[in-house]
Amino acid sequence: MEKGQGLSKRTKASLLAIFIFIPCFLYLGVTVFDDRKYLFIGLLILFTTMVPFFLIFEQRLPKARELMLIAGLTAIGVAGRMAFFWLPQFKPVIAVTIVAGVTLGPETGFLVGAMIGFVSNFYFGQGPWTPWQMFSFGLIGFLGGLLFQQCKVKANKYTLSIYGFLSCFAIFGLIMNPVSIITFYNSFTWPMILASYVQGFYFDLVQGVATVFFLFFFGEPMMEKIERVKVKYGFYKEDDWDNWDWED
């Protein structure tokens, strides 16, 4: 997005979906459905996420290979989360979500993150935490796409790693730590919420270290491969994605 231009239609739709509709769905799941309709809320989140995503293709229909690339990234995130099941919180999920947002745009980053959370929990276990995980993963991918594409922050292994590490605390931990209190207790106090952040600090730290590891060593190679695929098959608009410098 060039200076002087307003937000695009799809970015406005994304902001409306992510910061208005999806929080309303989460609130609905906790209050009205008493955390018993988490799969329904998860599907609502996915459906809402797909609306701004498909606005990318407002001038044409998406090609099958474009959707295959997104499905492939989702599969990598799901498989990576399953492969490291024996290391709690040491997962590549956030790294893959950030890569999706940086290379394919914020809308795709949110979609990939939400899909990874939804699909992988069929293995790890669905529960009232699922919609919150979907929202947290997706938000990291969305904000990463905005930061490195529209705000033109140079993307390299250092900046990606810094964003990934901070997002584990400032986004994922900020949202998910109190969820363990909100979803499992009928009433809660602020000291209980504070205790959840203290207890969750170690897990956020492990997840942050894992995210730095995967982004530092595998982030740029993954993005370069995605770039080659996009150039080869002419994905999206050429000027939408030429927003980063691969030089360190």
pLDDT for 52 equals 76
pLDDT for 98 equals 97
Q: What does pTM read for this prediction? A: 0.88
Q: What is the 3-state secondary structure (H, E, C) of the chain?
A: CCCCCCCCHHHHHHHHHHHHHHHHHHHHHHHCCCCCCHHHHHHHHHHHHHHHHHHHHCCCCCCHHHHHHHHHHHHHHHHHHHHCCCCCCCCCHHHHHHHHHHHHCHHHHHHHHHHHHHHHHHHHCCCCCHHHHHHHHHHHHHHHHHHHHHCCCCCCHHHHHHHHHHHHHHHHHHHHHHHHHHCCCCCCCHHHHHHHHHHHHHHHHHHHHHHHHHHHHHHHHHHHHHHHHHHHHCCCCHHHHCCCCCCC
pLDDT for 229 equals 87
pLDDT for 3 equals 41
pLDDT for 182 equals 82
Q: Which residues of the chain have pLDDT under 50?
A: 1-4, 237-248
